[in-house]
Amino acid sequence: MSSNVAPPRVVTIADLRKLARRRLPRMAFDYIDGGAESEVTLRENCRAFDEVTLRPRCAVATSGCDLRTSVLGTPIALPLLLAPVGSGRLFYPRGDEAAAAAAGAAGTGCILSTLSGTRLEDVKAATDGPAWYQLYLVGGREVATAAIERARAAGYSALVVTIDTPVSGFRVRDVRNGVTELLSGNPFSMLPFVGQILVRPRWLAGFLGDGGLMRFPNIVIPGQGPMPYADVGAALAQSAVTWQDLRWIRDVWNGPIVVKGVHTGEDARRAVEEGAEAIVVSNHGGRQLDGVAATLRVLPEVVAAVDGRTEVLLDGGIRRGSDIAKALCLGARAVLAGRAYAYGLAAAGGAGVARAIEILREDLARTLTLLGAASVADLNRSYADVPAEWLTASARGPRA
């Protein structure tokens, strides 16, 4: 591990965030760190964990805590997967490969974003663990079908269909920092923002050495090739996923489908009806519609709605192992972490991702020991107190 992430200095995810901020130009750091509009949901995703209190069983001897679980029938060493984060090469050279390798070494899995700057085949080859491919319909059905077929051939074991992105959220920090302009390749539009890059020469050297301005090699437009970075906003606005799309996607994929972006019991039930093998309670890390509830807050509603018919995962706000424990107490099978590992990637590449995973693993094991729980499988609602208003929605049936 590089010296700037030595364990005595890096003991929390917040420490990795500080190092990432120091290494990245402002536009790249805020791309990881920021959310939509006033960032209310971004903050609430983290704050919601403070509202759940734990109920330990004391005077219990635990010789060791078993963190192992399984997702979609695949064993993993801890109930944590790396969430899909776009533009990984913006944070570190070959960033998605580095993150995937770290996940595999830790005995867990990763989910690759459609909006990766790295070929999906290269990312799958980099990891010994399970890999899922996250699908946007960017470029239309023909382009998406080609990507699905590539993912299957490469050995991805599940398809994650994101349903909460009919358009990109209004991310104020990105607009102010000129993210699109900086990566458009147009020197005139880039000029007002180039100063923030020049003050990060080490990052710039790595970025240029990794190929510089990104295209998306997993979105191959017929007759044009990989889609340029500057086109992504318009492309997302033309590629909304509907429930009907899940039917042709299933015909093409013919494997496990995970529906990501579920906020309500109603959508959870619909996902089950459409045959989803798992769902992810997610508000896109607070990057889409601002003002929606924190994912932990709606988790009980979603768990009650699916009633054991499919696996439930949670995404959003994971910064400590106790956060993972609380999500499992409320019914999640495992969690996805995005920013937590992205900070590590931006700070120190694969070593930073490995440290982020290790921090969460150590925190989770410590939390289980203090709870008096021998394994993550033992966690249930009896280990946590939840605000009463969170449970009201979970008892509510479908709205008329």
Give the rounded distance of the alpha carbon of 82 from its chain centre.
6
Taking the CA atoms of 322, 324, 327 and 329 in sequence, report the sign of the dihedral they define: negative
Give every CB contact of residue 162 below 8 A, 6+ residues apart in sequence. Answer: 84, 134, 135, 136, 241, 260, 261, 284
Question: How far apart are the C-alpha atoms of 376 and 307, rounded to whole Å?
Answer: 20
337, 16 Cβ separation under 8 angstroms:
no
Residue 224 main-chain phi, psi, to 5 deg = -125, -30
Amino acid at 70: S
277, 250 Cβ separation under 8 angstroms:
no
Instruction: State the chain's maximal CA–CA distance in angstroms.
Output: 68
- The tokens for 394 are 């979970």
Question: How far apart are the C-alpha atoms of 293 and 42, rounded to whole Å?
Answer: 10
Question: How far apart are the C-alpha atoms of 299 and 338, rounded to whole Å?
Answer: 18
Amino acid at 21: R
Active-site residue (options: 269, 270, 284, 355):
284
Amino acid at 45: N
- The tokens for 117 are 């700057």
Question: How far apart are the C-alpha atoms of 181 and 127, rounded to whole Å?
Answer: 33
- The tokens for 231 are 């086109």
Question: How far apart are the C-alpha atoms of 176 and 68, rounded to whole Å?
Answer: 43
Question: How far apart are the C-alpha atoms of 145 and 215, rounded to whole Å?
Answer: 19
- Judge whether 263 counts as a catalytic residue: no
**Active site residues per annotation:** 284
